[in-house]
Amino acid sequence: MKTLGKMKYALAFLFVLLAANFLVAQKVREGSAPDGMKNVPNGDGSAAAVAAGPTGQAVVTGNGINYNGGPVLKGTVPIYIIWYGNWNGTGSNTAATRTIIETLIGGLSNSGYEKINSTYGDATGNVSGAMTLVKEVFDSGSQGTRLRNSRISSAISAQLTSGNLPTDASGVYLFLTSSDVKESGFCTQFCGFHTRQTLNGADIKWAFIGNVDQCPSGCEAQTTGPNSTAGSGGGADGMANVIAHETEEAISDPDLNAWFDSSGQENADKCNFRFGTTSTAANGSHFNQTLGGLNFLLQMNWENSRGGGCDQTLGGTFQ
């Protein structure tokens, strides 16, 4: 019958709408870029197809990573930290780790290492390689010690709606958890990830990085790092490496639609847990960067020039 026919049509249309919504949601979930266990193989980018960038703009392609049309974060990127869990604890869950990470952020800004990221751009300009730590807040465990992404979203959202942290679509929010906090997939599938989400009405870019002392074998390059003190483990140094990785990606691919290769690998993914040549610190650990007066062992980043490759500093030797 006519009415029934209409209804069938309407139902079919509703189904298509629902299916489309489901795919969008799924894509967003997949879009959060999980990162890097030590043994995840890296793409070399050599076979990557090259997407043409807008002509006459700041976008440079042909270096093993593709431009997909989205924006990058430009200017001095504001960094916000949410220290989640118990950061007045033992091991590496301490103020010493907080200081090391603060030094890292300050030291990364405008470093030769961070300038590798300035080879990425969009239609209106390039990444600057500058960042600044604007504000840090604590959350001793509003969402408990067993997290999943929705709980992290709630915790970040609470900081924004309360005004504890500014709601800043041009910044990157680092959600750093103490080693007693579990996050679904952390230490088994990834060491950190970054994503974007509409929170408090803005397009918020956030990254999860756990204290990798929860899984040194999967997520730490070395159990004693250059900044380890007796009994502190390599957590701070291991987190520094993952933070470098996630901030590079959150800045060059903030909305998950700018820079990645044909395998979906973002710039830091292409050099995951690859450090290049290192020096040896007094405590026997290895390092390849000195930032803010501290030594760090940070993975290399993919330089989008000279054909593309992993290096430790802009214009350095591909390794």
CB of 269 to Zn ion, least distance (A): 4
Contacting Zn ion within 87-126 (CB under 5 A): none
Comparing CB distances to Zn ion, the nearer of 36 and 85 is: 36
Spatial distance between the Cα atoms of 221 and 215, rounded to a whole number of angstroms: 11
CB of 207 to Zn ion, least distance (A): 9
DSSP type of residue 270 = G
For 193, residues 6+ apart whose C-beta sits below 8 A from its C-beta are: 32, 33, 34, 35, 207, 208, 246
Spatial distance between the Cα atoms of 42 and 269, rounded to a whole number of angstroms: 7
Count of residues interacting with Zn ion (CB under 5 A): 4
Comparing CB distances to Zn ion, the nearer of 83 and 302 is: 302
Q: Which residue's CB atom is positioned nearest to Zn ion?
A: 35
Spatial distance between the Cα atoms of 306 and 62, rounded to a whole number of angstroms: 9
CB of 20 to Zn ion, least distance (A): 28
Which residue stretch of 74-82, 137-145, 245-253, 254-262 sits at the interface with Zn ion (rule: CB under 5 A)? 245-253
Which residue stretch of 33-41, 98-106, 222-230, 311-319 sits at the interface with Zn ion (rule: CB under 5 A)? 33-41
Residue 311 touching Zn ion (CB under 5 A): no
Q: Please, are residues 33 and 251 in contact by the beta-carbon 8 Å criterion? A: no
Comparing CB distances to Zn ion, the nearer of 199 and 251 is: 251
Which residue stretch of 55-63, 107-115, 132-140, 268-276 sits at the interface with Zn ion (rule: CB under 5 A)? 268-276
Of 276, 211, 269, residue with least CA distance to 238: 211
- What is the per-residue DSSP string for 88-140? SSSTTSSHHHHHHHHHHHHHHTT-TTGGGGGG-EETTEEEEEEEEEEEEEEES
Comparing CB distances to Zn ion, the nearer of 48 and 160 is: 48
Comparing CB distances to Zn ion, the nearer of 35 and 168 is: 35
Comparing CB distances to Zn ion, the nearer of 74 and 245 is: 245
- What is the per-residue DSSP string for 160-183? HHTTSS---TTSEEEEEE-TT-EE
Structure tokens at 278: 């290192």
CB of 293 to Zn ion, least distance (A): 27
94-97 long-range contacts, CB within 8 A, separation 24+? 94/232, 96/229, 96/232, 96/236, 97/211, 97/232, 97/235, 97/236, 97/239
Comparing CB distances to Zn ion, the nearer of 183 and 269 is: 269
CB of 193 to Zn ion, least distance (A): 7
Indicate which single residue of 269, 286, 289, 310 sits in contact with Zn ion (rule: CB under 5 A): 269
Q: Please, are residues 180 and 85 in contact by the beta-carbon 8 Å criterion? A: yes
For 49, residues 6+ apart whose C-beta sits below 8 A from its C-beta are: 66, 262
Binding mask 196-215 for Zn ion (x = CB under 5 A): --------------------
Residue 35 touching Zn ion (CB under 5 A): yes
Comparing CB distances to Zn ion, the nearer of 220 and 249 is: 249
Comparing CB distances to Zn ion, the nearer of 168 and 249 is: 249
Structure tokens at 4: 């029934």
CB of 140 to Zn ion, least distance (A): 28
Structure tokens at 196: 């974007």
Q: What angle do CA 113, 80, 161 make, to 5 degrees?
A: 155
Residue 248 touching Zn ion (CB under 5 A): no
Residues that bind Zn ion (CB under 5 A): 35, 249, 268-269
